[in-house]
A and B are shown apart, each in its own frame.
Chain A
Amino acid sequence: MDSQPSTPTQSTEQKSTNTSKPFALSALILLPLILIGYFVFGKKAPETTDAPKTDTPVNPNEAVDTTDATNTPATVASYKDGTYTARGAYASPAGPEEYPVSITLKNGVITAVKITASSQNEVSTKFQTEFAKNVQTVVIGKSINDVKLDKVSGSSLTPKGFNDAVEKIKAQARS
């Protein structure tokens, strides 16, 4: 397994079959991280200066926000909000490989994972890039009014008749 960097990538894609609550990512993302081998989570102290290169930089104040900490359930309270970084390592056929990983925690839930491909080896870089690409992004919504747009592509603007009919049936089902 350690010689197959592609295995964690496949495991990552398997999370698509999960239909549980949004952002319940922790176990699913940690699994491939563990699979990638010899992964050390590092110290628990947040390294907020080493924020991931996401569009929304981590707010350093958030990491030490005591209000958040007190609201967090006791079981996860030992993990403070913030961004943690560590180096992942595994053995590839071409030799040992390493890559930096950063994880952002909020209320005990992982809200962002950033993995940077860092190998000198071309094949390894390809696998690492592919893996990194598939674990890092979780999208959120922005109000349509706050974004400059010409058009919106949705799941087919539903005809009014369709929605009216569905609403009617829902109402009947309740009565």
Chain B
Amino acid sequence: MTEPERPPYSSIAGLAWPALPPPAGQSMLAICFQLELSQWLDAQTLRQQQLRQLRRLVEFAHAHVPHYRGHLSRAGIDGAAAIDAESFLRWPVLTKTEIREHGQDLAATSIPASHGSISWSTTSGSTGQPLRAATSGIAALFQQAVLLRMQSWYGVDPQSKLAVIRMTAETPYSGSWGAPTDLAFRTGPAVKLSAFESHEKQLDWLCREQPGCLIVHNANLQALLRRSRLHGKAPRGLRTVMGFSDMASPGLRGMVRDIWNAEYFDTYSCAELGPLALQCREHANLHLQSERVFLEVLGADGAACAAGEIGRVVVTDLHNFAMPLIRYELGDYARLGPPCPCGRGLPVLAGIAGRGGQTAVDPTGRSFFPRLNFDFWLDVAAVQQWQVAQLAPADLEVRYVGERDLTADEQSQLASEIRKAMRYDYRIAFTRLAVIAHAPGGKFDDFVSLHHHLRTTDG
């Protein structure tokens, strides 16, 4: 199925294989070599190495980042060297509100020159609260190394054409994939399209461009696949589809295979830290990218969740000294799973419960994270995109984009599936829309709560 591995390119005349790429490519491959080995470390060794790096970060943050100056003593930790999985649980969680309100105090007063230059970016995150984050050159390098790992895991041929559909598509065409791939490898061209284009236009564009590899929001992908099936139109030559951002339905992989004859892989990332978890090469599990990110799943009381227990996702970027995000609460909910049968020691993120992180309620007072991304949506061909909104404790609205109005039968079938999934007999209204708006920043919530009192208040 996969092409033979493409070796890197060489910057030295006459030396083609093995290659010596330019210095930036050498740095990238030096990290990639370590990632090749570290993925097979056992979970305990991985944790030891994470803590070793974490202590360096905390030591730096304590000395150079005003926001963290008192954190060690407030957490009752006797110096950075005393950081371990236990004591770290006492380190205060960093909320988006804190970043928004105290952003200046989170930037390091200075960073070592060897960490490279600092770049600023703006993100909304999954809860739609925009914030600015600073990233060091070194942290960006490590983020990029994980992206290269992703391409390697999924057998992506860098010499094929890459298509990206995301919110911004400032360079619709470029001769190469850009960093990190072209730091060490010859690549094919890359084409980009805005996800705000209609699905009709997106699909036509894919059929015209015929990329080998596609990167796309999961919700957008699902809409594209439905349209593709409805119109019998599929991009030719597509081999690999990598989904990101929104929650992937369990049936998405099968749809990509059936409708486009391509392999689908899910990823979990955030703008501030880059990839957090990548789907296993051999299994449906998402592997935490432990070399980059220290990820915790916490219960309501702040204690670490047991495997299988759903809790809040709190992450630490191990390498970004420009603006250390230490125990940063993303607003997502997830649970850790049992070890993956592939043998990699990288922990498994078994489920990300509602990447939008919005809770549903019912009139009995139960609040929960609705998982509505089931295959029954696929059975109703007229629905290209959907969103469920909670208007009141007993009232839901199904918003959908489609070619035509749903029939009464289709509505009743969907309503019964939703009631079954949400375990309450809600009143359900159906509204057909021309477009369903994304949250600021481009993430798409399949469930939104408009019921004022339902919103979580800690984010």
A, B assembled together: no
Chain A interface (Cβ < 8 Å from any Cβ of B): none
